[in-house]
Amino acid sequence: MPDPGLVEPITLRELVIANRILAHEGILDAFGHVSVRHPEEPSHYLIARSLGPELVTEGDLQRFTLQGEQVGGDPRPPYAERAIHGAIYEGRADSMAVCHNHAPSVLPFGVTHVPLRPIFHMASLIGPEVPVWDIAEAFGETDMLVRTIEQGRSLARTLGARRVALMRGHGSVVVGRTLREVVMTAIYMEQNARLQAQAASLGDIQYLTAGEIERASAMLLRSLASDRAWETWRRRAIGADSAREVKGAS
């Protein structure tokens, strides 16, 4: 199968680096995935084959239609839950990157009806209201995985225009205009979840207001902040020689 390339190499490299950062920061472990919409063909997206994110190199990337049909890249088995990505790209023209993860501190907020809300500026990107999608509502008892495009579309409807949605008994999705935005949102959502639980054990929480969330989000999305964070996490995850590392052994 032809390589998924056909894109500027920088997109492939950024996607590999996003995999490594999210694994290194504890958002993805052996499971979960991150994708990017094809920069020149918006009806396609790029994602790794079924592989632990910290092991991903450029040679492991695959290219899919939004319906989940493979059109390029590594021929080995794909992620079972790739419908999450296609359905979100389909419903959200503004989405250029998607991460599905099982970040542990976030999980309790998907099963307790306690809303996840920003308690500090760095988590403002999760927005003022984080919805919870329950696969059982429309699909009954399942193995909890999003296996069909219909299930993915149901999740995308709950997500709506937001950046984040939780998945009951499973994990979450994070969506953004860039891979950097998605990585930053996912990392600080996990931190916020841990800190919110700590704060709740101390007493009533004073959350960020809607106006504070809006202003802090704008601050984080400026390249001064997002590039600084990305560089720090990239160096922490793969060291200085990222060009060699992301290409893989071949």
Residue 81 annotated to the active site: yes
Which residues contact residue 76 at a Cβ distance below 8 angstroms, ignoring those fewer than 6 apart? 49, 50, 60
CA distance 208 to 236: 29
User: In the structure encoding, which two tokens stand for residue 163, read together?
Assistant: 């950046």
The distance of Cα 139 from the centroid of its chain, to the nearest Å, equals 23
CA distance 3 to 70: 12
Query: Which residue is catalytic, options 81, 90, 181, 190?
Result: 81
Q: Please name which of 56, 88, 84 lies closest in space to residue 177, comparing C-alpha atoms.
A: 88
CA distance 240 to 131: 38
The catalytic residues are: 81
